[in-house]
Structure 1
Amino acid sequence: MSAYKVSLRELRFFLWELHKTDQTFLARAPFNDKNRAYYDALLERARAFAYELGKAYQASDRQECRLLENGTVEIPKEFHGLWQRYKDEWIQVLGNDSESQQPALPPLIRQAIQEMFMGANPAFMTYGGFNFPAIKLLKLHGTAAQKATYLRKLQHYDWDACFCATEQQAGSDLTAVTTVAKPLENGEYAVSGEKVYISAGMHTLTENTVYFVLGRINTTTSTSYSLSCLLVPRFWPNPETGELEDNHVECTSLLRKMGLKGCANTQLVFGRSGTTRAVLLGDRKNAGLLQLVPLMNQARMSTAIIGLGLASSAYLHSADFAGKRLQGRAITAARPMPAPLLCPSSNTPTCSACCWK
């Protein structure tokens, strides 16, 4: 049985009656090739998959993630089958594989589907959760060579992406970041440093992970204007052979949290066991924070969608329980009311004339 609940009646009210999505989006290009019935059926498909995600949520929290002796990370076993289904059934529907600049779904409908998936199993949805903003960043800022190397792999979810900003001494204060990149030949950089609290930072669902790492080029100056965004693949794609080579990215520990235990919350080390190679996003130095503004905005919205999905499911569980819980006696089993007290003087129910004095 799934731990997740959702009301399509509420979602349809939100879409069709409150926001009139059919009039706002479906009446014009590029969404006028499909009607409301198509999207209603799509919501039902999404609910069915969300229930499957929900079944794995509690089990994944009990299994947790484990760092193995060989340095690899073991994630909940149910996630492998769910990942393949998510790739086959939903990536193209949600638009992450689109070559065009037009979204595949009206934004509100995409959000409703994401709300179901994230509310059903937020731990699973962290895997590949950064692909969509990573694709956007590459399209906005990547060079032609970077797009050719990374874009299609991320769009097909053969590779995934992670954002690496936080360090032990640098949480919300990113001016304290100390990760450093030193120039190599051919426009590459050697990265050294550590990052913590990297969600879904290492796993075997994909053949490679691209880390978007905030660091400094040849300096440790503590200003936001000296931060750059580096593309660090877990396995370096050899341009001549096409093979993936070890890029010396290590997971040194899995950090424990109160929830989302199915999410591999990693501490990563770059450049300790060998040279960790990287390229600079867009070949632009000291522009990391400016480049990453869209990503940070998207991350905040995604966190809010997770909260909305969980809160909605919790409310529906509570309402269902309240409707089934028995309290007190049934009205048919109630005892007769006792006879009212009579005033000794007037032989009527207690009166204010003498009994209240």
Structure 2
Amino acid sequence: MKNKGASVATYKSPVQDMEFVLNEIINVGSLTEIEKFEDATEDIITGVLDEAAKQIDNTIGVLNESGDAEGASLNNGEVTTPEGFKEAYASYAESGWIGLDKDIEFDGQGLPYVLATAVTDMLSGANAAFSLYPGLSNGAYEALKAHGTQAQKETYMSHLSLGDWSGTMCLTEPGAGSDLGQVRTKAVPQEDGSYLIEGNKIFITAGEHDLTDNIIHLVLARTPDAPEGIRGISMFVVPKFLINEDGSLGERNAAECANIEEKMGIHGSSTCVMNFTDAKGYLVGELNKGIQNMFVMMNAARLMVGLQGLGVAERATQNAITYAKERKQGRPLTRKAESSFDSDTIIVHPDVRRMLFTMKALTEGCRMMAYDTAKHVDLSENHPDEAVRNASKARVDLMTPVCKAFITDVGVEVSGLGVQVYGGHGYIKEHGMEQNMRDSKIFCIYEGTNGIQAMDLVGRKLSMNDGQLPIDFFAEVKSELASASAEMAFVTQPLTSALSALEEVTAWLIKSKEEDLNDSAAAAVDYLQMFGLVSLGYYWLRAAKVASGKEGVFYQGKLATANFFATKLLPRVHGLAPVVMSGSRCVMEPSEELIV
């Protein structure tokens, strides 16, 4: 029996907030000026969001708790997903959600990526484990689109759009985690142009399951005469079932799931150990260019993982707010002198409000950042003006590690606050809040740990294009500040100060890399947090401008949340700045023996 007064965690797609971001913050309607997206009108976008929310909330969201309890199971090499997943996936695929942003020529709907981003946001909040099955197919589609032959595109891409086939990324090996230069899986060329793939891969999301007719593995391997290290890695497409000349499915390939990992969270997702025993594969792109080819897939996956962090944060926030308005416990300090023993709902307490506003400010701020980055993906790939394409690609390059790492860190922080708001009930499994914490942690780890994302930001992105990427972003923030009215001072003053601190630290980091690489490496994670906070400050300024002067609880809530972020969260930047610039001596000078 559930404890009285402790609500069971649920999820409702935040369509109103999504429409606010799409229409009033990032002006998604401007994409209709691009011929490819001329049909992506506000009415179409509203219709898509409403229909997606209806299906996701009512068929996939309701499987979140049961899927976590049951998990995926392995029997004789075959994986069975939790009860209800197969039917829900079939309905999701048949409704066209997987192909929403895929090319029309490959049976997609040709709508903007940013709209698919909103749907992924919903899917991740409703059921993070389920979201991984269609999620990995997106990366496989993009990799084949960028590097596959025409024959490979025609063979695989429509099926990936339609969702009757799914895709995987097979990178990690027992001896090669993030260091892909250590990959030892072999690819032996055959006379017919194919390759025999021999090796073992671990941590393969959706490596085996019962949701689709075929699974398309994209595998990193090296040919016999390949150079050592990452320069000798190639990418191969290895289907679970071979494909006949007429496009029908042929015999089973020698790619088999040997085990399912027992994980902390996302139990409904099958995380597989895959054995390739002379499995037939086909080269994708050029020989020894596998890392470059795989980055197309990895970057798409990193943005997707950021959305998983966002979705779980949204789920935690929704339930914490509902619970705080229902749960009665104690009285506020202003009522302590009263003789009545009646308790108030816990939302009256300042510390509970602090937690709720923190959850809202981080979650809603991250939604603005993620959707704006997704819009730049659309512009970078489809805008007719090359200058716009290049500028948007630069923004995506800069923000991809921030979206992946900062938003997934937010997912963990917000999930933890959700448990805290519930108190003891949050720690108890039956109320669903602890699942958010268990699910959210993996987002900080896979597709490149958040430490690796921070190193990418500091080590590569700050220096790309002669250091222009952060300069352009800072200029955009300054332009937004310059156009703000005096009534926005509650945001502009702390944001101006935070931006100044970030610019100072950025300059220090760039210089430090010339003197001691350990300094920037030791500071990378803290620097990414600074960058993420200033980015959210920028978006909350934009939100405050839109909401200013508008009536209604929704817009007044935006102003209140913007004020909270600027007052309570943005100042974290000033604590991080001296930490970043403290260098690496205290980290690197002590010998290993002293770390005991």
TM category (shorter chain) comes to 0.7 to 0.9
Verify: 1:58 aligned to 2:65, yes or no. Answer: yes
- Equivalent residue of 1:127, what SS? helix
**What residue is the counterpart of 1:281 in the other structure?**
284
- Equivalent residue of 1:126, what SS? helix
**What residue is the counterpart of 2:94 in the other structure?**
88
Q: C-alpha displacement at 1:334, in angstroms?
A: 3.9
**What residue is the counterpart of 1:301 in the other structure?**
303
**Residues 192 and 270, structure 1, Cα contact 8 Å, conserved in 2:** yes
Q: C-alpha displacement at 1:132, in angstroms?
A: 2.0
**What residue is the counterpart of 2:160 in the other structure?**
154
**Residues 92 and 98, structure 2, Cα contact 8 Å, conserved in 1:** no
- Equivalent residue of 2:269, what SS? coil
Paired with 1:211 and 1:140, the residues of 2 have a C-alpha distance of 16
Verify: 1:19 aligned to 2:26, yes or no. Answer: yes
**What residue is the counterpart of 2:455 in the other structure?**
none
Q: C-alpha displacement at 1:86, in angstroms?
A: 0.8
Task: Rate the CA distance shift 1:224–1:314 in 2: closer, same or farther, 3 A.
Answer: same
**Residues 3 and 58, structure 1, Cα contact 8 Å, conserved in 2:** no
Give the alignment partner of residue 31 of structure 1, picking from 4, 27, 37: 37
- The higher-RCO structure (CA 8 Å, 6+ apart) is 1
**What residue is the counterpart of 1:67 in the other structure?**
74
Give the alignment partner of residue 10 of structure 2, picking from 3, 22, 32: 3
Q: C-alpha displacement at 1:63, in angstroms?
A: 0.9
**What residue is the counterpart of 1:193 in the other structure?**
199
Paired with 2:79 and 2:106, the residues of 1 have a C-alpha distance of 35
- Equivalent residue of 1:195, what SS? strand
Paired with 2:236 and 2:82, the residues of 1 have a C-alpha distance of 30
Verify: 1:246 aligned to 2:249, yes or no. Answer: no
Q: Which amino acid aligns with 1:133?
A: G
- Equivalent residue of 2:139, what SS? helix
Q: Percent identity?
A: 32
* TM-score, normalised via structure 1 length: 0.85
Between 1:10-19 and 1:207-216, the stretch displaced more is 10-19
**Residues 226 and 288, structure 2, Cα contact 8 Å, conserved in 1:** no
Residues 254-312 of structure 1: per-residue CA shift (max 9 Å, x gap) = 111111111111001111xxx31111113x21010111121111111111000011101
**Residues 99 and 163, structure 2, Cα contact 8 Å, conserved in 1:** no
Give the alignment partner of residue 40 of structure 1, picking from 28, 46, 49: 46
Residues 118-151 of structure 1: per-residue CA shift (max 9 Å, x gap) = 2211211211322222222222211232223222
Q: C-alpha displacement at 1:3, in angstroms?
A: 2.3
Give the alignment partner of residue 131 of structure 1, picking from 137, 140, 155: 137
Task: Rate the CA distance shift 1:263–1:219 in 2: closer, same or farther, 3 A.
Answer: farther
**What residue is the counterpart of 2:593 in the other structure?**
none
Q: C-alpha displacement at 1:329, in angstroms?
A: 5.8
Q: C-alpha displacement at 1:197, in angstroms?
A: 0.3
- Equivalent residue of 1:313, what SS? helix
Paired with 2:150 and 2:55, the residues of 1 have a C-alpha distance of 36
Task: Rate the CA distance shift 1:320–1:242 in 2: closer, same or farther, 3 A.
Answer: closer
Task: Rate the CA distance shift 1:149–1:303 in 2: closer, same or farther, 3 A.
Answer: same
Q: Which structure features the higher share of helix residues?
A: 2
Paired with 2:41 and 2:152, the residues of 1 have a C-alpha distance of 38
Residues 9-56 of structure 1: per-residue CA shift (max 9 Å, x gap) = 22222122222223x224553434353233223212122122121110
Paired with 1:25 and 1:243, the residues of 2 have a C-alpha distance of 39
Task: Rate the CA distance shift 1:223–1:101 in 2: closer, same or farther, 3 A.
Answer: farther
- Equivalent residue of 1:94, what SS? coil
Task: Rate the CA distance shift 1:197–1:241 in 2: closer, same or farther, 3 A.
Answer: closer
**What residue is the counterpart of 1:348 in the other structure?**
none
Task: Rate the CA distance shift 1:158–1:41 in 2: closer, same or farther, 3 A.
Answer: closer
Give the alignment partner of residue 321 of structure 1, picking from 300, 315, 323: 323
What is the 5 A alignment of 1:261-272? 261-271=267-277
**What residue is the counterpart of 2:184 in the other structure?**
178
* TM-score, normalised via structure 2 length: 0.52
Verify: 1:310 aligned to 2:312, yes or no. Answer: yes
**Residues 203 and 272, structure 2, Cα contact 8 Å, conserved in 1:** yes
Q: C-alpha displacement at 1:181, in angstroms?
A: 0.8
Bigger CA radius of gyration? 1
Paired with 1:195 and 1:93, the residues of 2 have a C-alpha distance of 28
Paired with 2:48 and 2:289, the residues of 1 have a C-alpha distance of 40
Paired with 2:98 and 2:197, the residues of 1 have a C-alpha distance of 34
**What residue is the counterpart of 2:379 in the other structure?**
none
Q: Which amino acid aligns with 1:313?
A: R
Paired with 2:36 and 2:78, the residues of 1 have a C-alpha distance of 44
Paired with 1:202 and 1:7, the residues of 2 have a C-alpha distance of 32
Q: C-alpha displacement at 1:226, in angstroms?
A: 0.3
**Residues 106 and 158, structure 2, Cα contact 8 Å, conserved in 1:** no
Q: C-alpha displacement at 1:95, in angstroms?
A: 2.7
Paired with 2:259 and 2:143, the residues of 1 have a C-alpha distance of 28
Task: Rate the CA distance shift 1:277–1:314 in 2: closer, same or farther, 3 A.
Answer: same
**Residues 5 and 317, structure 1, Cα contact 8 Å, conserved in 2:** no
Residues 295-343 of structure 1: per-residue CA shift (max 9 Å, x gap) = 1111111110000111012112111111222234697x9439xxxxxxx
- CA RMSD in angstroms comes to 2.5
Q: Which amino acid aligns with 1:98?
A: I
Q: Which amino acid aligns with 2:312?
A: L
**What residue is the counterpart of 1:341 in the other structure?**
none
Between 1:51-60 and 1:36-45, the stretch displaced more is 36-45
| Residue ranges of structure 2 left out of the alignment (5+ in a row) | 1-7, 341-596
Q: Which amino acid aligns with 1:56?
A: L
Q: Which structure features the higher share of strand residues?
A: 1
Q: C-alpha displacement at 1:103, in angstroms?
A: 7.2
**Residues 2 and 54, structure 1, Cα contact 8 Å, conserved in 2:** no
